[in-house]
A and B are shown apart, each in its own frame.
Chain A
Amino acid sequence: SQKIEQNSEALNIQEGKTATLTCNYTNYSPAYLQWYRQDPGRGPVFLLLIRENEKEKRKERLKVTFDTTLKQSLFHITASQPADSATYLCALDPNGGATNKLIFGTGTLLAVQP
Chain B
Amino acid sequence: DVKVTQSSRYLVKRTGEKVFLECVQDMDHENMFWYRQDPGLGLRLIYFSYDVKMKEKGDIPEGYSVSREKKERFSLILESASTNQTSMYLCASTSAGGETDTQYFGPGTRLTVL
A residues within 8 Å of B by Cβ? 8, 32, 34, 41-46, 49, 89, 91, 93, 97, 100-102, 104-107
- B48 adjacent to chain A (CB < 8 Å): yes
Docked CA distance A34–B92 (Å): 15
Q: Which of B4, B100, B103 is A97 in contact with, Cβ under 8 Å?
A: B100
A-B contact pairs, 25 of them (CB 8 A): A8-B40, A32-B100, A34-B102, A41-B88, A42-B107, A42-B108, A43-B92, A43-B105, A43-B106, A43-B107, A44-B90, A46-B102, A46-B103, A46-B104, A49-B102, A89-B42, A91-B103, A97-B100, A100-B31, A100-B96, A100-B101, A101-B101, A102-B103, A105-B42, A106-B41
Q: Give chain B residues whose Cβ lies under 8 Å from the Cβ of A41.
A: 88, 108, 110
- B43 adjacent to chain A (CB < 8 Å): yes
Closest A-B pairs by Cβ, 6 of them: A43-B105, A106-B42, A100-B101, A104-B43, A46-B102, A100-B31
| Additional 12 contacts, C-beta under 8 A, given A43-B108, A101-B48 | A34-B102, A43-B105, A43-B106, A45-B105, A46-B103, A97-B101, A100-B50, A100-B96, A101-B33, A101-B45, A101-B101, A106-B40
Interface centre among A43, A46, A91, A102 (most CB of B within 10 A): A43
Chain B's interface: helix, strand, loop or mixed, by majority?
strand
B101 touches A107 (CB 8 A): no
Docked CA distance A7–B71 (Å): 37
- B75 adjacent to chain A (CB < 8 Å): no
Within 8 A of A (CB), among B59-114: 88, 90, 92, 94, 96, 100-108, 110
